[in-house]
Structure 1
Amino acid sequence: MIAGVPVARQNRRIMPPYIPSVVAALVVATQLSVPMAQAAASDYNLVLVETTYPFGDGAVLELRLIDTRTNAPVEGAVIFATRLDMEPDGMETMTSTVLALPGDEPGLYRFSADLTMDGNWRFSVAAKVQGEVETVQAQIVIEVQP
């Protein structure tokens, strides 16, 4: 027993006076760290290479995904929703199956579809860009000619 020191404090280690300040600074630094900048869906653009196609089976639709901040193609996106219908001509229930094809260059996504009627078709597509939270979506009108 140490004279003049309460028993409860005799077995405690004394913390150097600067430690609480260092710990507090570390906590604040980790809480205020700058998050990684993420792009918004509006920073990307889905564009069809062609918007006019002939009537018939096996049309190849080529879609580019562009980062509008750099004007660079975006590769590795996951296209998870596609739909082709005649909504622009008032026939939303008139649809065609869209099949994914292999791409042959960065940022180019290819699809095959049967364009069974001339008129205006709507190609709806949704994509997830790696590392981004938001979904990139587009609805593009294509013209099918006889």
Structure 2
Amino acid sequence: MTKTSFSRALPAALLGLALTAAARADTTDYEFQLVKDEAKQGEAILDVRLVDKRTAKPVPNAVIFAKRIDMAPDSMEEMTSKIEQLPSPEPGIYRFKAKLTMAGGWRLSLGAKVQGETGTVENKLVLKATK
């Protein structure tokens, strides 16, 4: 292989490698993270970041199709509350309004589809409601 053909082949090989790595992305490469893990009891606004763990960058435009909030951390999984999705304040941040009816541990369960990926991103996040 001549030096000229090698210099042309190298960028093509690197591009192929990058595309192969991107194609191997999995839903386990993504995770939800609470922006704050504490909220006031009552009507609460909860911000959650969706992150690509490979790059640590926020992931915008995911479709949240499952959401639930309950008191499982305090052994009261049957104690659920209403939760509603609100407009996103910025790309990669997903906002929810929930009624935290009592102080204690709450679990926020989310399910989402990330554009371009097959499968579902699912996480269970724990936060604390304070008086």
Q: What's the % identity of the aligned pairs?
A: 50
User: TM-score w.r.t. structure 1 length?
Assistant: 0.73
Task: Please tell me whether Structure 1 or Structure 2 has the larger radius of gyration of its CA atoms.
Answer: 1
Select which of 100, 104, 110 maps to 1:125.
Answer: 110
Paired with 2:24 and 2:101, the residues of 1 have a C-alpha distance of 41
**In the TM superposition, what whole-angstrom CA distance separates every residue of 1:120-139 from its partner, at most 9, and x where no partner exists?**
01100011001111211110
Paired with 1:38 and 1:104, the residues of 2 have a C-alpha distance of 30
Paired with 1:90 and 1:70, the residues of 2 have a C-alpha distance of 35
Q: Does 1:37 align with 2:35?
A: no
Paired with 1:114 and 1:104, the residues of 2 have a C-alpha distance of 20
Q: Does 1:72 align with 2:57?
A: yes
Paired with 2:35 and 2:86, the residues of 1 have a C-alpha distance of 15
Shift of residue 68, structure 1, vs aligned partner: 1.0
**In the TM superposition, what whole-angstrom CA distance separates every residue of 1:12-37 from its partner, at most 9, and x where no partner exists?**
xxxxxxxxxxxxxxxxxxxxxx7x71
> In structure 1, what is the equivalent of residue 121 of structure 2?
136
Shift of residue 70, structure 1, vs aligned partner: 1.2
- 1:10-21 → structure 2 map (5 Å cutoff): none
Aligned length: 112
Structure that is richer in helix per residue: 2
User: TM-score w.r.t. structure 2 length?
Assistant: 0.81
Shift of residue 38, structure 1, vs aligned partner: 3.6
Stretches (4+) displaced over 3 A:
none
Q: Which consecutive unaligned segments of at least 5 residues does structure 1 have?
A: 1-33
> In structure 1, what is the equivalent of residue 35 of structure 2?
49
